[in-house]
Amino acid sequence: MFNRYLIPGCLITTTLSTALVSASPVFAAAEVRAVSAKQVGIIAKKTVVRIESSAGGFGSGVIIGRSEQGNKNVYTVLTAAHVVSKPDASYQLVSPVPLNSTDASKKRVKMTLNPQTSVTILPGVDLALVTFSSESIFAVGTIGNSGDADEGSPVYVAGFPQPGKAITRFALQFTGGMISSRLDGEEDPGNKGGNGYDIAYTNVTRAGMSGGPVFDAAGRIVAIHGQGDRESQNPDEAAVGIISTSQKTGFNLGIPIQTFLNLRPQARKAFGAKLDLSPLNYQLADNSVLIGTRSQKFVKRLRTRSSSVPITDVTKINEEIPE
């Protein structure tokens, strides 16, 4: 049995209606259970890409779709627009290890992108779609319901930070944290983030992780990371144009995946995106560990439904490659 958050998009069929991507979340009958952090990390390792710019910048992205074009697979990557928006730059994408690689060829694949044909900047938000074609098979990440990612919800961020003093090479980093604030919340609807950055979390991030996914406790994509909050700039420095060197506060910002779905409501049909907007049961399948605290929204829904609602177990990972 394949884990539905890891198997290639070519094998996925879904009965979710297009109503699931409307502005108001619609939940399927089933629930999904949280999985261990290690299992979400496996999903990240198989779906997160690195993007390199000739201008010297680096970023990340996540594979969210697969379609077919002739004998090749066309994959769609969601990332932050500022990662791929320099007009005169060229870009290279470093893929995950292909699922159909042999023991002798288990390595990431680097490919050159044509910005004119491979990059689409989405309007009004810091999001972009990147496409690449390959004969290889890659896992496709599952889009979740960012409406459920409220304060206290556990989340994971994955991406490729620039090398530092101790970690001197590119290495996928996977960090845990929780949602700390919704800037699009009902408490202060006027306090929205800029460029779509309406969700904040406590995960550790560094430069180069922009464009990487924010996963929920079931391994579904609920946001795209792209900003690190900093202490306010000294007004006197700002007045004379001095660039702020203030320290990061520890809070980071992402764009809720629902913002993307509002811009691309036909994502499933257009490029083979996988959606699972069903509610999340934070209790692990073995009933021994609780990840975080159930959100008030989840508890309220749970109390209004029968206990016979089916819960999907997604805790088993199967590495077998399909024929």
Q: What is the pLDDT of residues 44-101, one digit of tens each?
A: 999 999 999 988 888 999 999 999 988 889 999 999 999 998 878 889 999 999 998 7
Closest CA to 185 of 278, 256, 260: 256
Strands (E), the chain: 31-33, 48-53, 58-69, 72-79, 91-94, 110-113, 119-121, 128-134, 142-143, 154-159, 173-182, 199-201, 213-215, 221-230, 248-256, 274-275, 280-281, 311-312
Is residue 203 predicted with pLDDT exceeding 60?
yes
CATH of 146-257, one of 3.40.50.970, 3.20.20.80, 3.40.50.2300, 2.40.10.10: 2.40.10.10
pLDDT at 315: 36
Determine whether 211 is exposed, middle or buried from the number of CB atoms within 10 Å of its CB (0-12, 13-18, 19+).
buried
Is residue 191 predicted with pLDDT exceeding 80?
no
Of residues 296 and 85, more confidence is placed in: 85
Per mean pLDDT, which of 89-98, 103-112, 220-229, 253-262 is the most reliable? Answer: 253-262
Structure tokens at 233: 């700039």
CB 68 within 8 Å of CB 207 = no
pTM reported for the whole predicted model? 0.75
pLDDT (mean) for 241-250? 56
Residue 195 is classified by DSSP as: G
Is residue 145 predicted with pLDDT exceeding 80?
yes
Closest CA to 36 of 201, 298, 320, 282: 282
Closest CA to 226 of 122, 109, 116: 122
Q: Hey, is 176 helix, strand or coil?
A: strand
7 falls in which pLDDT band (50, 70, 90)? Answer: very low
Closest CA to 226 of 198, 186, 245, 247: 198
Is residue 214 predicted with pLDDT exceeding 50?
yes
155 falls in which pLDDT band (50, 70, 90)? Answer: very high
Least confident interval from 129-133, 150-154, 173-177, 231-235: 231-235
> If you average pLDDT over every residue of the chain, what do you get?
77
Of residues 184 and 61, more confidence is placed in: 61
**Cα angle at 298 between 266 and 20, to 5 degrees?**
15
Amino acid at 90: S
CB 34 within 8 Å of CB 217 = yes
Closest CA to 298 of 114, 149, 174: 149
Report how far residue 132's alpha carbon sits from residue 111's, in angstroms, rounded to the nearest whole number.
8
The CB-side HSE value for 279 (13 A sphere, CA atoms) comes to 19
Of residues 7 and 215, more confidence is placed in: 215
pLDDT at 314: 39
Q: Virtual CA dihedral for 24, 28, 30, 31, nearest 10 degrees? A: -20
